[in-house]
Amino acid sequence: MKKLMVLLSGAFWTAALFAADVMAVGNDSGIDEGLIGLGEGIDKGMIALSAGIAIGLAAFGGALGQGRAAAAAMEGTARNPEANKRIFVLLILALALIESLVIYALIVSFSLIGKV
């Protein structure tokens, strides 16, 4: 898990440094500046990129959460078979909440794509 966090943090900082580099570019060409002052085409590309990253991270996090929840439920059922029904109900509730967050990220991504 520690290696994954280091990898994700490195990817984040690399993207942040790249984005800062892109935003530092001046506009001497007379092109109409867009939302963040980089030109309309770059703004649309950044919005599309952020929508893709948002849904990708949400799907990745949701899959990790669902996998851990299912593993914990199976382990709990193996340790105490009499609590199977109660564990199953709690598992379904947890999976529904995890999936609702992923669906929320999908809606945010669609709203961002609507701006392109």
DSSP class of residue 80?
-
pLDDT tens for each residue of 41-84? 777 888 888 888 888 999 999 999 999 999 999 999 999 999 99
What's the rounded Cα separation, in Å, for the pair 99 and 92? Answer: 10
Q: What is the CATH number of the domain that holds 79?
A: 1.20.20.10
Residue 85 forms part of a structural domain: yes
pLDDT above 70 as % of the chain:
68
Query: What local confidence, expressed as pLDDT, does residue 15 receive?
Result: 61
Residue 15 forms part of a structural domain: no
The total of structural domains in the chain comes to: 1
What's the rounded Cα separation, in Å, for the pair 38 and 27? Answer: 7
Question: Token match 């007379």: residue?
Answer: 30
Residue 68 forms part of a structural domain: yes
Residue 64 belongs to what domain range? 36-116
> What's the predicted TM-score (pTM) here?
0.60
Residue 82 forms part of a structural domain: yes
